[in-house]
Structure 1
Amino acid sequence: MAKKTIKTNKEEVSVEDKLKSLYELQQIDSEIDEIRKLRGELPLEVEDLEDEVAGLQTRVAKHDEELKESTASISAKKNEIKEHQALIEKYTKQQNNVRNNREFNALSKEIEFKELEIELAEKHIKEFSATEDFKKEAIKQSKDELKQKTALLKEKKSELKAVIAETEKDEKALEKKSQALLDNLEERLAVAYTRIRSNARNGLAVVTVNRDACGGCFNKIPPQRQLDIRARKKIIVCEHCGRILVDKYINDDDNTQEQLDIEKAAQKKKRTVRKRKVTK
């Protein structure tokens, strides 16, 4: 007994229907792209501003920490000076009670050493004070810039939120349609479509033939290949850019648009002939 071959719904779909589904999917995805274009560079601007604000906050925190260290160092050096001054006062009093020159000279050297320590501490205080002033100015500038960037970020976030609120409903509905069409395609076509679309600069994976040329890269399509595309018996890709090609009447089921184009072409031809006769 002969075995019956069971085909899935996707396998039973004709090539023409597959092409129509691909073209419809492309139209929907192009609408989604247009909606996202309305946002412009806002998402990137918001992201960049968030990074800048975070960087400025880190910078301010770092300057604050360094300022505290400088202030603490100044305080420590001032305490050292007090200690040295107390020892100088002590050694000076002891000089009045020495028993010989050797003890007097030893105390004099200690006093001289402590005076040098005081000079060195005062030098360090000046250095730390200069650093402190620099850090205070740096903190002021960073805080001013942070304030400006935070205000700008708030403004840009508000703009982005307004744009998203305006388009979110339509975008979600289109995304749902797009995913449904993609899921209904056979896996091979879905993968190919997604790959071509991601590699194309304008996001076009399926294009029509217009004026004998590919609608994606605008390279000429040979006449015989155009006939094959019009026949819709197989999926044909542009040999130059790899996009899937369909004829421009792919959705003209009742041939209305095609008939109108034929009539327009005939009228144009008649006008051309009349002009030639008048010229003669």
Structure 2
Amino acid sequence: MSKTKVQTVEEKLTNLYKLQYLTSQLDEINTLKGELPMEVSDLEDEIEGLKKRIVKMEENIKEVEHEVSRHQSNIKESIELIERYKKQLDNVQNNREFEALTKELEYQNLEIQLSEKKIREANDRKNTKNQTLEEAKARLSLKNKDLESKKTELQEIIEKTENKEDALMKKKLRAEKNVEERLLLSFDKIRERTKNGLAVVTIVRGTCGGCYNAVPPQIQIEIAQKKEIIACENCGRVIVADDVATSVDKIDRSESPEEQERRRQMIMANDDMDD
């Protein structure tokens, strides 16, 4: 806070409302961005996970293909052995040789049948894995399109609001220097526990502009007098008089809420042009 002079209560209230006014505009920019930054980050993580999964599935398919190739080699080897044993059968000298060759032939035929079964099973696994792989690739393609769309949307918002956001941040930092440390701490704490981010409000139709609970008439009078900083008895938000708020945001509180909102938008648009 500036130490050039002691602030009056009205000056403290004005500085607090100015800080709220600037902070609310930054909140609106973040609301405009919405969940996009988080969605982009989540999509990037999901896409990275999908890519790793696809690589793993492709490796598994290659392993199955190697398994099929190995069984095919076994079949080829068995066929060659069968041809050799059949030729040897023509030259057997005794029953023992005949029985030995016959057993070898049976064994190699069984090896072929087993390898053929293993190939069928492996091909079934490969087909299943290929189907899962194609589904993962299709999902990856959709996620990439979704990511590009959200990135484009986010970038457009950033480009549209970047200059304004930077200007508001500089103004907010300057405004914080004009607020007492204890009030600044209270301001931040109240913002943390409220959904709308409002720590400093005005009276709206006899109620607190933050929680909309009734403000007693005597308290309203004390707020208008600006002799002390008064907080809402229900929500703890600081309540300032209308003229304090108007000195900052230039909004006439005697107008209808709709007219106030229209004027607020006009003022913000002019601020954008000034920035």
Scaled to the shorter chain, the TM-score interval is: 0.7 to 0.9
Aligned to 1:116: 110
CA distance in 2, matches of 1:159, 1:88: 69
CA distance in 2, matches of 1:242, 1:82: 86
Of 62, 66, 73, 1:68 maps to: 62
Q: Deviations over 1:37-87 (max 9, x none)?
A: 233443344334323432332232222111111111111111111222233
Residue pair 1:196, 1:205 contacting (<8 A) in 2 also: yes
Distance 1:210 1:105, change over 3 A: same
Aligned to 1:91: 85
Aligned to 2:230: 236
**Structure 1-normalised TM-score?**
0.79
Of 120, 130, 151, 1:157 maps to: 151
Of 125, 129, 136, 2:123 maps to: 129
After the TM superposition, which of the residue ranges 43-52 and 154-163 deviates more from structure 2?
43-52
Aligned to 1:27: 21
- Using the TM superposition, give the Cα deviation of residue 173 of structure 1 relative to its aligned residue in structure 2, in angstroms: 0.4
CA distance in 2, matches of 1:119, 1:107: 18
- Using the TM superposition, give the Cα deviation of residue 218 of structure 1 relative to its aligned residue in structure 2, in angstroms: 0.6
**Structure 2-normalised TM-score?**
0.80
Matched, 1:217 2:218: no
Matched, 1:139 2:136: no
Distance 1:58 1:260, change over 3 A: closer
Distance 1:29 1:61, change over 3 A: same
Residue type at the aligned position of 1:122: E
Residue pair 2:191, 2:197 contacting (<8 A) in 1 also: yes
Aligned to 1:277: none
Residue type at the aligned position of 1:54: E
Residue pair 1:84, 1:118 contacting (<8 A) in 2 also: yes
Over alpha carbons, which structure has the higher Rg?
A: 1
- Alpha carbon RMSD of aligned pairs, Å? 2.8
- Using the TM superposition, give the Cα deviation of residue 234 of structure 1 relative to its aligned residue in structure 2, in angstroms: 2.7
Distance 1:196 1:93, change over 3 A: same
- Using the TM superposition, give the Cα deviation of residue 164 of structure 1 relative to its aligned residue in structure 2, in angstroms: 0.9
Residue pair 1:95, 1:104 contacting (<8 A) in 2 also: yes
Distance 1:58 1:151, change over 3 A: same
- Number of residue pairs the alignment of both structures matches: 253
CA distance in 2, matches of 1:153, 1:32: 25
Q: Structure 2 unaligned runs (5+)? A: 256-275
Instruction: Please give the secondary structure, in 2, of the residue aligned with 1:146.
Output: helix
Instruction: Please give the secondary structure, in 2, of the residue aligned with 1:58.
Output: helix
Residue type at the aligned position of 1:195: K
Residue type at the aligned position of 1:27: Y
Instruction: Please give the secondary structure, in 1, of the residue aligned with 2:201.
Output: strand
CA distance in 1, matches of 2:66, 2:112: 17
* Identity of matched residues, %: 44
Of 37, 43, 48, 1:49 maps to: 43
